[in-house]
Copies of this chain bind each other. A is one copy, B any other.
Amino acid sequence: MASIDTDRMATIRGAGAAEPCDGCDVRSLAVCSGLKPDELERLEAIKSTVRYRAGDICVQEGDAAAHLFNVTAGAIKVYKLLADGRRQITGFLFAGDFLGLTLNDTYAYSAEAVTNVALCRFQRPRFEALLAEFPKLEKRLLGVASSELAAAQDQMLLLGRKTAREKVASFLLQLQRRTAQVGDSSGMVDLPMSRTDIADYLGLTTETVSRTITQLKTAGIVRLQGQGRIALARHETLRQMAEGFDPAG
């Protein structure tokens, strides 16, 4: 559970000025991957770059869905709220991830910057026009949607059927897989988000998350490397734990 700072609205730091796609180091991960040079140019023409500071709201549930985004740096959390403030984080987004896929003309979720972030931003009507022109882009988007859907099903399994320990183990491994995807396979994992965020992602409370991590630490399965970094020491144990094999530890 969590209280949300509702009064802090988005403050766009550096707006407008588009940064060149040429030097973009997340292009291979993003929706724009696989486009031909001329297509990329057309896409670039309708793009602007926006930055948010940690804590800023990027997207607000219920607002007109005017834009689509691509995260180029930093981390974002996507979440939904209940009437009394209970929060469920449905996903964390990192560099390369896509934000804003929706059929409706309003967003069905909110998004907040976890760290300082940079995003490519596209106006929806313009983006959709390009979508109609470039089948490859549409195909890519369908791919993005499909893999998000698969991830969502995994997360439902986690939320509905896993124990606190299994949830935390799954979460750490998920972050590590993501880290490895970007190249770093050292077993060191960044935790840019707070315990409250982790709790709201896993359907737990901060206290339970904290206790569970302490348990894993005591059991020698992970090592806290101060300040939002954690080392996965016994990777295989963690993996089994995440899949529910219950090594009774």
Contacts and interface: CB of A to CB of B under 8 A. Distances in A.
Interface of A: 1, 80, 82-84, 86-88, 90, 101-104, 108-109, 132, 135, 138-139, 141-143, 145-150, 152-157, 159-162, 200, 202-203, 243-246
A246 B244 CA distance: 34
Contacts of A138: 135, 138-139, 142
Contacts of A80: 153-154, 156-157
A208 to B, nearest CB: 13
Nearest to A240: B83
Contacts of A83: 243-245
Contacts of A132: 135
B88 A150 contact: no
Nearest to A160: B203
Contacts of A86: 161-162, 244
- Most chain B beta-carbon contacts within 10 A, residue among A103, A132, A155, A156: A156
Given A82-B161, A143-B103, A88 B152 contact: no
Given A82-B161, A145-B142, A161-B87, A150 B245 contact: no
25 contacts: A1-B161, A80-B156, A80-B157, A82-B161, A82-B162, A82-B243, A83-B244, A83-B245, A84-B246, A88-B157, A103-B143, A103-B146, A103-B147, A103-B150, A104-B150, A108-B153, A135-B135, A138-B139, A145-B149, A149-B149, A149-B152, A152-B152, A152-B153, A159-B159, A160-B202
- Most chain B beta-carbon contacts within 10 A, residue among A82, A109, A154: A82
A82 B244 contact: yes
